[in-house]
Structure 1
Amino acid sequence: MERGRRVPAAGVAAVRLVAASGGGRRGAVPAGCDVHGRHGAVVAGHLAAGHGRTGRGERSGARRRRAHHADAAARPGAVGATGGRRNHASRSARLLFRDFRGPDAAVVQEFTPGRAPSGVDLQNFTGNFESVPPYEGHPQGRVLYGTAPRRAPDPAFVRMVEAQGVQPALTIDTSWLLVGHVDETVHVVRAGNERGWTLAVADPRLAVDLLRRAQRAGEGGQRLFAGTSTERKPTVDALLADQGFLAGNEQAARHIDDQIGVLLRETGLSRGGLVRVPVLYATISADRGGPEGAIAYSPGVANGLSLTGRDYAAPDPHGPKVRGRDLFRVESEEALAAGGVRVQWVENVAWSHLAGGEVHCATNALRDTSGGTPWWRTAPSR
Structure 2
Amino acid sequence: MLHRTLRVDYDQTTSVLCVIGSELRASLDRGAPPGSKFFSVKCTPSVQYHITPPAKETSHLSPMALNDNTMLLISMSAPSEHENDSKLSVKYYGDKNEELGRALLLLTAVEISLDVDADRDGIVEKNNPNKGSWKWGPDGHGAILLVNCDCERTYWKSPDNEDDRIARVSDLKDMSTMVLRTRGPAKLPEGYKLAMHISQGAAESIRVFRPRTNDVKYSNFAERLMYENFVKDYPLVLSSDVLSKEVPYVGDDGELKFYVEGLRFPDKDFDGLVYINLSLLEPIAEGIPETPIFTETVVFRVAPWIMTPNTLQPEEVLVCSTRDNIKFLKGMESVVVKSGCKLKICKEYMNRGDRWMQDELEFGYIDSPHQQFPVVLDSPRDGKLQDFPYNELLGPDFGYVTREPERKDVSSLDSFGNLEVSPPVTVNGRKYPLGRILIGVAFPTATLGRNMTKVVQDFLWAQKVQEPVALFSDWLFVGHIDEFMTFVPAPDRKGFRLLLASPDAGYKLFRGLQKDGHGEAKMFEGVEDEGTERETVDEILKNKSLRKQNSYVQSCVDWNRDVLKRELGLEEEDIIDLPILFKLVKEKCGTSRALAYYPDMVNMIVLGKNLGIPKPFGPRVNGRCALEAEMSSLMEGLGLNCTFIDNFKSYHKLLGEVHCGSNVRRKPFDFKWWNLNM
Length-normalised TM-score, structure 1:
0.77
Amino acid at match of 1:223: K
| Paired residues of 1:45 and 1:108 also in contact (CA < 8 A) | no
RMSD: 2.9
Q: Does 1:138 find its partner at 2:438?
A: no
Change (3 A) 1:158 1:212: same
Q: Which of the pair has more CA radius of gyration? A: 2
Matches within 5 A, 1:117-128: 121-128=411-418
Amino acid at match of 2:392: D
Q: Does 1:372 find its partner at 2:670?
A: yes
Change (3 A) 1:303 1:50: farther
Tell me, in whole angstroms, the C-alpha distance in 2 between the residues paired with 1:296 and 1:345. Answer: 17
Q: Does 1:102 find its partner at 2:403?
A: no
SS of equivalent residue, structure 1 residue 201: strand
| Paired residues of 1:276 and 1:335 also in contact (CA < 8 A) | no
Change (3 A) 1:284 1:96: same
Tell me, in whole angstroms, the C-alpha distance in 1 between the residues paired with 2:658 and 2:509. Answer: 23
Tell me, in whole angstroms, the C-alpha distance in 2 between the residues paired with 1:342 and 1:358. Answer: 19
Matches within 5 A, 1:49-60: 49=309, 55-58=364-367
Matches within 5 A, 1:41-52: 47-49=307-309
Q: Does 1:18 find its partner at 2:270?
A: no
Tell me, in whole angstroms, the C-alpha distance in 1 between the residues paired with 2:569 and 2:267. Answer: 31
Give a deviation string over 1:123-176, Cα, whole Å, max 9, x none.
Answer: 111111111111222121110111124332101110000000111111211121
Correspondence for 1:80:
none
| Paired residues of 2:439 and 2:470 also in contact (CA < 8 A) | yes
SS of equivalent residue, structure 1 residue 116: helix
Change (3 A) 1:336 1:183: same
Amino acid at match of 1:197: F
Q: 2:536 aligns with which of 235, 244, 249?
A: 235
Q: 1:271 aligns with which of 543, 559, 572?
A: 572
Q: Does 1:293 find its partner at 2:593?
A: yes
Tell me, in whole angstroms, the C-alpha distance in 2 between the residues paired with 1:45 and 1:319. Answer: 41
| Paired residues of 2:420 and 2:437 also in contact (CA < 8 A) | yes
SS of equivalent residue, structure 2 residue 664: strand
Tell me, in whole angstroms, the C-alpha distance in 2 between the residues paired with 1:269 and 1:174. Answer: 20
Q: Does 1:116 find its partner at 2:408?
A: yes
Indicate the percent of aligned positions where both proteins have the same amino acid. Answer: 27
SS of equivalent residue, structure 2 residue 509: helix
Change (3 A) 1:228 1:51: farther
Correspondence for 1:320:
619
Tell me, in whole angstroms, the C-alpha distance in 2 between the residues paired with 1:345 and 1:68. Answer: 28
Amino acid at match of 1:49: P
Q: Does 1:284 find its partner at 2:585?
A: yes
SS of equivalent residue, structure 1 residue 228: coil
Tell me, in whole angstroms, the C-alpha distance in 2 between the residues paired with 1:195 and 1:61. Answer: 31
SS of equivalent residue, structure 2 residue 643: strand
Tell me, in whole angstroms, the C-alpha distance in 2 between the residues paired with 1:329 and 1:345. Answer: 8
SS of equivalent residue, structure 2 residue 401: strand
Tell me, in whole angstroms, the C-alpha distance in 2 between the residues paired with 1:252 and 1:321. Answer: 25
Deviation at 1:61, TM superposition (A): 10
Amino acid at match of 2:266: V
Deviation at 1:69, TM superposition (A): 8.2
Q: 1:153 aligns with which of 441, 452, 475?
A: 452
SS of equivalent residue, structure 2 residue 366: coil
Amino acid at match of 1:125: S
Tell me, in whole angstroms, the C-alpha distance in 1 between the residues paired with 2:304 and 2:621. Answer: 47
Change (3 A) 1:60 1:355: farther
Correspondence for 2:604:
304
| Paired residues of 1:165 and 1:380 also in contact (CA < 8 A) | no
Tell me, in whole angstroms, the C-alpha distance in 2 between the residues paired with 1:66 and 1:45. Answer: 9
Change (3 A) 1:374 1:97: same
Tell me, in whole angstroms, the C-alpha distance in 2 between the residues paired with 1:366 and 1:129. Answer: 15
Tell me the number of residue pairs that the alignment of Structure 1 and Structure 2 aligns: 329
Q: 1:192 aligns with which of 491, 495, 515?
A: 491
Length-normalised TM-score, structure 2:
0.45
| Paired residues of 1:55 and 1:69 also in contact (CA < 8 A) | yes
| Paired residues of 1:143 and 1:168 also in contact (CA < 8 A) | yes
SS of equivalent residue, structure 1 residue 92: coil
Q: Which has the higher strand share?
A: 2
Change (3 A) 1:43 1:217: farther
SS of equivalent residue, structure 1 residue 146: strand
Amino acid at match of 1:251: Y
Tell me, in whole angstroms, the C-alpha distance in 1 between the residues paired with 2:272 and 2:373. Answer: 24
Change (3 A) 1:51 1:193: closer
Give a deviation string over 1:342-379, Cα, whole Å, max 9, x none.
Answer: 1111111111111111101110223233x73444xx15
Give a deviation string over 1:200-251, Cα, whole Å, max 9, x none.
Answer: 1111111122222222333323321121134222222222221101111121
Tell me, in whole angstroms, the C-alpha distance in 2 between the residues paired with 1:253 and 1:288. Answer: 24
SS of equivalent residue, structure 1 residue 56: strand
| Paired residues of 1:311 and 1:342 also in contact (CA < 8 A) | yes
Tell me, in whole angstroms, the C-alpha distance in 2 between the residues paired with 1:166 and 1:363. Answer: 26
| Paired residues of 1:48 and 1:129 also in contact (CA < 8 A) | no
Give a deviation string over 1:237-295, Cα, whole Å, max 9, x none.
Answer: 2222211011111211111111111111222221133122111101013x445432111
Q: Which has the higher helix share?
A: 1
| Paired residues of 1:295 and 1:356 also in contact (CA < 8 A) | yes
SS of equivalent residue, structure 1 residue 20: coil
Change (3 A) 1:317 1:244: same
Return 5+ residue gaps in structure 1 as ranges: 1-14, 27-41, 76-88
Q: 2:649 aligns with which of 342, 345, 350?
A: 350
Q: Does 1:175 find its partner at 2:474?
A: yes
SS of equivalent residue, structure 2 residue 601: coil
| Paired residues of 1:301 and 1:314 also in contact (CA < 8 A) | yes
SS of equivalent residue, structure 1 residue 91: coil
| Paired residues of 1:142 and 1:170 also in contact (CA < 8 A) | yes
Give a deviation string over 1:45-90, Cα, whole Å, max 9, x none.
Answer: 674436668622359998x8456688xx441xxxxxxxxxxxxx43
Amino acid at match of 1:222: A
| Paired residues of 2:417 and 2:482 also in contact (CA < 8 A) | yes
| Paired residues of 1:264 and 1:270 also in contact (CA < 8 A) | yes
